[in-house]
Amino acid sequence: MTGRICGTGFCVPKRVVDNEELSRMVETSDEWIRERTGIAKRRIITEETTVSMATEAAKQALADAGISAEQVELILMATISSNVILPCAACEVQKEIGAVNAVCFDINAACCGFLTAYQTAQAYIAAGIYQTILIIGSESLSKLTDWTDRGTCILFGDGAGAAVLNAGEGERFQSILHSDGSRGEALSCSGKHWKSGEEDTGFMKMDGREVFQFAVKRVPEVIREVLEANHCKLEEIDYFIVHQANRRIIESVAKRLGADIGKFPMNLQEYGNTSSASIPILLAELRKNGTIKKGNRILLAGFGAGLSWGAGIAEWTIE
Ligand code: UT7
């Protein structure tokens, strides 16, 4: 048995913050941000929360899949910005959608969170434990952002994406994930509750250049690794859905692979980097606008805090 994506959904906050607005808050410019990242705007929560956006994305994904909330056996929620520490965000979504038969837990793997949830769901399906699984990536990174730090605040945005996986016959693709905890300081966040001293704001801290260099090296490597593990050729991939962190990173990944940049859809210009939500938001948008079609083979690739990185393959089997 293998897990097939049979429905997707996404939700972003109403409030749009463009680069002009940011340039009134920190010393930056629309030109610099567009040139160095490709980002033009991002969505920031006002009354929305990580759980409310996840709930909306989950409802859409279930409706798209034609599956009732009661049929869901497992909810995996990838997030680093849940509303509260306890209960977990997956349980809060369960309550909101009425998925009374589901087991629920959160996954903290930052920008690799959705991919980690995808691999975990596939493993449960392959083991015959669950057949119908809801996976979600939802973030309110604006809560963890230092709005006086131009090195990070220009990058991030809020949002949620979800997908429903159903067990079915067919080829099973192996996902590959890696972590290197020794490089964790490159992108860290102690959280306001645990901040270690006066100099620690508790907000996200990042060595942008280190993360950039890590991404452009490791992402092409793991894409090649996952293709080889699944006896799949680069040309057989219709779309590469890469974590939406920076347009230059995605362009470099395409170049290093020798792949057509046209196969790397992007929406980071609209939403910025939404961490675990970036891959499922893009997936849901591409489904909604009819870009992804039945029979397409899609490669998902993520990277981020941990440091962690990975890739997985999904065969698109729905109309
Ligand atoms: O989910 C994974 C999370 N993170 C990432 O993917 C981040 C990966 N890294 C990046 O995307 C890029 O490193 C950044 C966009 C964060 C920075 O771009 P960069 O081209 O690596 O810039 P830099 O850090 O090398 O800085 C170049 C210059 C510096 O000035 P000097 O030292 O050359 O005078 C910075 O102080 O740009 C300056 N700078 C800015 N200027 C205007 C840094 N941030 C800004 C800014 N506006 N927002």
State the pLDDT at residue 185.
94
194 pLDDT above the threshold of 80: no
Write out the H or E segment, with its range, that includes residue 5: strand 2-11
Active-site residue (options: 111, 112, 153, 189): 111
- pLDDT bin (cut points 50, 70, 90) of residue 316 is very high
Q: Which residues contact 156 (CB under 8 A, 6 or more apart)?
A: 42, 141, 142, 145, 204, 272, 273, 274, 275
Q: How far does residue 215's CA lie from ligand 1's centre (Å)?
A: 14
State the pLDDT at residue 211.
97
The residue that leads in pLDDT, 79 or 319, is: 79
Distance from first CA to last CA of the chain, Å, rounded? 21
Query: Cα dist. 197→3, 85, 203, 207, 275 in Å?
Result: 45, 21, 12, 20, 26
**Distance of alpha carbon 159 from alpha carbon 255, whole angstroms:** 29
Smallest Cα–Cα separation from 284: which of 57, 71, 77? 57
Query: Cα dist. 85→17, 24, 81, 91, 281 in Å?
Result: 27, 33, 9, 11, 24
Give yes or no: 111 in active site: yes
Q: How far does residue 116's CA lie from ligand 1's centre (Å)?
A: 27
pTM metric for this prediction: 0.97
Give yes or no: 246 in active site: no
Question: 304 CB less than 6 Å from ligand 1?
Answer: yes
Write out the H or E segment, with its range, that includes residue 105: strand 103-107
220 pLDDT above the threshold of 80: yes
Best residue among 42, 212, 248 to mutate for probing ligand 1, ranked by most atoms within 8 Å of CB: 212
State the pLDDT at residue 191.
85
Percent of the chain's residues with pLDDT above 90: 94
Segment 153-176, tens digit of pLDDT: 999 999 999 999 999 988 899 999
Active-site residue (options: 166, 230, 246, 273): 273
Segment 114-153, tens digit of pLDDT: 999 999 999 999 999 999 999 999 999 999 999 999 999 9
Write out the H or E segment, with its range, that includes residue 293: none
Mean per-residue pLDDT of the chain: 96
